[in-house]
């Protein structure tokens, strides 16, 4: 079993622009604990009062995971960590001459003495000590060994090798980590950054070299280009190398969504495991293959990581996926109609456009000569916003012919409108807005704005789009499109 030290709340929060409140940190920590990570690096206690409050809350929550704080080689940092009630510290010691001389303005023997002193101090305060070599990948390995040996002699419990600026190669991992693992009889960990795109590969190589603990973050958050992504290390380690971790993969997606939402860092669509497109198929040949046996074009099954497969339509669509989507919509088409629907979808794609659910409906209505009256339609929307009013929206919908009027307030006009629409939808049962994304299709202030929403009802999730030059109307249109799909398919 390889232990995971999750540093989403420390290195992950060092992602430029990311700042979590104490309650948000606690929320994420609880999720990480449920996911099954072994150690949560909850922050750097010395950073600020708010940071301390967050770490204190996490340490006081009684989670199964060990709770850890980052510290420099300074007694002051240890005092702050102790004050938060953590189980352990991640004591980071610069080991490259570059860091020792240029950053700390010290020499090697001063580093050895400082480290011994601070490790002893932390042990005297009852802390577990993970002693990390910062910038180890650019350091003299014999000096790293010296720092580690001295640290262990005075009580350090675990060791970690940090590729602080992401310049490690798998070859160097094999060389350095094998040497350290063979030399020391304690846990040796590895902390990798992704500056050159090697973080996950190096982390896996480290485990192969004998590391029994690795540092990871959800979604690969972290300084600059980030750290090794937990979800990628777990799934590639498990699938390709039979490695065992304590985490429950089925919770990977919801953990990723929570971290993305609270950190404000959106994921690229093509992000492995948790990106929007990781289990989405447009190309006809792929969709056809997946529909007969999903392993033809899916290396892992979406359900293994708590996700669902999705087919979307576009220029590359073929008959198989259209047939599957129509079936899901309760529409039956013969071969000729199917060919016609595919042709019209490709026509839209050829014009450089995305095919929306509204487009598909229009195509179906035309080709199959059927008209599916939407159960929910918009009658009226009024929005008030400005610098001296709380943004407020009132909405009138017709739901199965019945007039439903609701209002909502929010942080802005879109938020208020979504709030009002959501309240009106409560007539139809519990409907959750899982995701909301805006894309500007063209440039400029009069750009066509495309809003994509994901709605969930009774475990079923649909995506829908709205496209207008008015972002509020595009948002409401997407919400209505989504809800009509959800309830029609019901």
Ligand X SMILES: CC(=O)SCCNC(=O)CCNC(=O)[C@H](O)C(C)(C)COP(=O)(O)OP(=O)(O)OC[C@H]1O[C@@H](n2cnc3c(N)ncnc32)[C@H](O)[C@@H]1OP(=O)(O)O
Binding site for ligand X (CB under 6 A): 11, 14, 44, 46-47, 70, 72-74, 92, 94, 103-104, 134, 164, 223
With CB atoms as reference, the residue minimizing the distance to ligand X is 72
**Rounded distance, CA 111 to CA 133, Å?**
11
Closest separation in Å from C-beta 48 to ligand X = 6
Closest separation in Å from C-beta 7 to ligand CC(=O)C(=O)O = 7
11 lines the binding site for ligand CC(=O)C(=O)O (CB under 6 A): yes
Interacting partner of 132 out of ligand X, ligand CC(=O)C(=O)O, none (Cβ under 5 to 8 A depending on kind): ligand CC(=O)C(=O)O
Output the DSSP codes for 202-242: HHHHHHHTT-SEEEEBGGG--STT-B-BHHHHHHHHHHHH-
Interacting partner of 104 out of ligand X, ligand CC(=O)C(=O)O, none (Cβ under 5 to 8 A depending on kind): ligand X
Residues 6+ apart with CB under 8 A from 87: 59, 66, 67, 68, 127, 128
With CB atoms as reference, the residue minimizing the distance to ligand CC(=O)C(=O)O is 162
Interacting partner of 44 out of ligand CC(=O)C(=O)O, ligand X, none (Cβ under 5 to 8 A depending on kind): ligand X
HSE-CB at 428 with a 13 A cutoff on CA atoms is: 28
Cβ closer to ligand X: 163 or 213?
Answer: 163
Give the DSSP H/E element, type plus range, for residue 153.
Answer: helix 141-153
The b-or-e profile of 343-359 (16+ CB within 10 A means b, else e) is ebbbebbeeeebbbbbb
Cβ closer to ligand X: 164 or 417?
Answer: 164
Cβ closer to ligand X: 164 or 202?
Answer: 164
- Calculate the alpha carbon distances from 56 to 25, 44, 80, 87, 182 in Å: 10, 11, 10, 11, 37
Closest separation in Å from C-beta 446 to ligand X = 43
Closest separation in Å from C-beta 397 to ligand X = 49
Output the DSSP codes for 280-346: EE-SHHHHHHHHH-GGGT-SS-GGGGT---EE--STT--HHHHHHHHHHTT----HHHHHHHHHHHH
Cβ closer to ligand X: 225 or 461?
Answer: 225
DSSP state of 267: P
Q: Which two tokens stand for residue 38?
A: 């072994």
Taking residues 175 to 214 in sequence order and writing x for each that binds ligand CC(=O)C(=O)O by CB under 6 A, - otherwise, the string is: ----------------x-x---------------------
**Rounded distance, CA 164 to CA 99, Å?**
11
CA angle 330, 486, 378 (to 5 degrees): 115
Taking residues 68 to 107 in sequence order and writing x for each that binds ligand CC(=O)C(=O)O by CB under 6 A, - otherwise, the string is: ------------------------x---------------
Residues 107 to 136: which contact ligand CC(=O)C(=O)O by CB under 6 A? 132, 134
| Contact of 435 with 453, CB cutoff 8 Å | yes
Q: Which residues contact ligand CC(=O)C(=O)O by CB under 6 A?
A: 11, 92, 132, 134, 162, 164, 191, 193
């Amino acid at each position: 079993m390889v232990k995971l030290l999750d540093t989403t709340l420390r290195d992950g929060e060092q992602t430029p622009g990311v700042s979590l409140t104490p309650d948000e940190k606690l929320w994420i920590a609880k999720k990480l604990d449920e996911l099954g990570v072994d150690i949560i690096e909850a922050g750097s206690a010395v950073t600020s009062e708010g940071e301390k409050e967050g770490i204190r809350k996490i340490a006081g929550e009684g989670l199964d995971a060990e709770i850890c704080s980052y510290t420099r080689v300074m007694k002051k940092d240890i005092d702050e960590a102790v004050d938060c009630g953590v189980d352990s510290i991640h004591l980071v010691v610069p080991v490259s001459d570059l860091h020792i001389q240029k950053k700390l303005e010290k020499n090697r023997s001063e580093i050895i003495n400082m480290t011994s002193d601070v490790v002893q101090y932390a042990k005297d305060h009852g802390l577990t000590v993970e002693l990390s070599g910062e910038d180890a990948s650019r350091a003299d390995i014999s000096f790293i060994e010296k720092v580690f040996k001295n640290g262990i002699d005075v009580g350090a419990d675990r060791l970690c090798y940090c590729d602080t600026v992401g310049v490690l190669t798998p070859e160097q991992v094999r060389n350095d980590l094998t040497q350290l693992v063979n030399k020391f009889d304690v846990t040796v960990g590895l902390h990798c950054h992704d500056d050159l795109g090697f973080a996950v590969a190096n982390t896996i190589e480290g485990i192969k070299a004998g590391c029994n603990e690795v540092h990871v973050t959800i979604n690969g958050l972290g300084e600059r280009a980030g750290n090794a992504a937990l979800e990628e290390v777990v799934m590639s380690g498990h699938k390709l190398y039979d490695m065992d971790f304590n985490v429950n993969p089925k919770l990977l997606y919801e953990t990723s969504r929570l971290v993305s939402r609270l950190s404000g860092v959106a994921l690229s669509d093509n992000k492995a495991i948790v990106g929007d497109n990781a289990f989405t198929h447009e190309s006809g040949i792929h969709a056809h293959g997946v529909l007969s046996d999903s392993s033809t074009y899916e290396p892992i099954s979406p359900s293994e990581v708590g996700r669902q497969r999705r087919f979307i339509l576009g220029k590359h669509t073929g008959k198989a996926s259209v047939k599957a989507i129509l079936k899901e919509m309760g529409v039956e088409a013969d071969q000729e109609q199917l060919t016609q629907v595919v042709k019209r979808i490709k026509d839209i794609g050829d014009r450089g456009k995305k095919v929306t659910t509204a487009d598909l409906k229009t195509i179906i209505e035309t080709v199959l000569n059927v008209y599916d009256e939407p159960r929910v339609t918009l009658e009226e929307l009024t929005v008030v916003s400005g610098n001296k009013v709380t943004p407020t929206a009132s909405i009138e919908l017709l739901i199965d012919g019945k007039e439903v009027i609701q209002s909502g307030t929010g942080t802005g006009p879109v938020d208020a409108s979504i709030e009002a629409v959501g309240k009106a939808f409560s007539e139809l049962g519990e409907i959750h807005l899982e995701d909301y994304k805006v894309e500007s299709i063209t440039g400029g202030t009069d750009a066509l704005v495309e809003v994509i929403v994901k709605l969930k009802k009774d475990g079923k999730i649909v995506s829908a789009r709205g496209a207008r030059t008015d972002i509020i109307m595009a948002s409401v249109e997407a919400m209505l499109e989504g809800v009509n799909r959800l309830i029609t398919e019901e």
